[in-house]
Amino acid sequence: MRLDRVLALLCCLAGVAHATPAPPAAQKAYLSLIIDDLGQNLPRDRRVLALPGPVTAAIMPDTPHATEFAREAHRAGKIVILHMPMDPATGPFAWHPELPVEELERRLNAAFKMVPYTAGINNHMGSRMTAQPAAMAWLMADLQRRHKFFVDSRTSAQTVAAQQAQKMALASVSRDVFLDDERTEEAIFTQLQTAISLARKQGSAVMIGHPYPQTLAVLERELPKLKAQGIEWIDIRQMISVRGNRAMVGHGKDGVYR
């Protein structure tokens, strides 16, 4: 081989060896939003339906407009879930640890009748109830039979609800961030930024908020900006698919719920 060709080949190889590697593809960041406690006030709740994306409407069965608002949300193309009262919540539908399974089933059936078009449920309160392994195992089996999913609101560190759902391979997901434990626009904005940061860090974040005026004001202002920030707002069914029933770091270890 001629010397000039050898030198050219060596230069090419050197260039390959020192080429800058292609940057890794940016990790996608997904957010899902659930608004709880709906069904109490139609004008207020309709602001939720007007939010510019796939908000999930969690409707309480013991509210004056539960059935009507569930129909409106369904017509608006929103996913409807039953916001099921659980101890320490009270009322005719609320679950309590001392109730027999037959009564739990009766209350759940009645709640589903009050809130039509439901794709799944999440717990309203429930710090005592979601810590009951036997009751949660029964609930997940019942939801599996009904072809509905479960969202663990994680109102207590002692919850075993998502753990039981995972054991049964029920489609489920867990809340990461409560937006409005403190009802000021500043605090809610901070929580939204926390959710965005978490989504970037772990790939996804599930937010739960309430139809407070302060919450809606922040969401109406900030949600349209998500796309420009590289955040993809997806519905809760898509989030369940994205996570594949795996626990996040804040919920368990190696994808398994604690």
Residues 1-24 pLDDT 10s? 454 554 444 444 444 334 444 444
pLDDT of residue 5: 52
Distances (CA, A) of 71 to 42, 228, 234: 12, 32, 21
The larger pLDDT score, comparing residue 235 to residue 4, is at 235
Average pLDDT over residues 137-152: 98
- Conformation bin of residue 87: beta by default, left when phi > 0, alpha when psi is -120 to 50: beta
Question: Does pLDDT of 164 surpass 90?
Answer: yes
CATH of 27-249, one of 1.10.10.10, 3.20.20.450, 3.20.20.10, 3.20.20.370: 3.20.20.370
Tokens representing 225? 């900006």
Which among 135, 130, 139, 192 has a CA at the least distance from the CA of 157? Answer: 130
Reported as a single tens digit per residue, the pLDDT across 37-93 is 999 999 999 999 999 999 999 999 999 999 999 999 999 999 999 999 999 999 999
pLDDT of residue 258: 87
First to last CA, the chain: 67
Which among 235, 240, 238, 232 has a CA at the least distance from the CA of 76? Answer: 235
Which among 235, 223, 131 has a CA at the least distance from the CA of 173? Answer: 235
Which among 111, 132, 133 has a CA at the least distance from the CA of 122? Answer: 111
Burial group, residue 102, by CB count within 10 angstroms (0-12, 13-18, 19+): exposed
- Phi and psi at 148, nearest 5°, equal -125, 155
Average pLDDT over residues 198-222: 98
Task: Return the percentage of the chain with pLDDT > 70, whole number.
Answer: 90
Question: Does pLDDT of 162 surpass 80?
Answer: yes
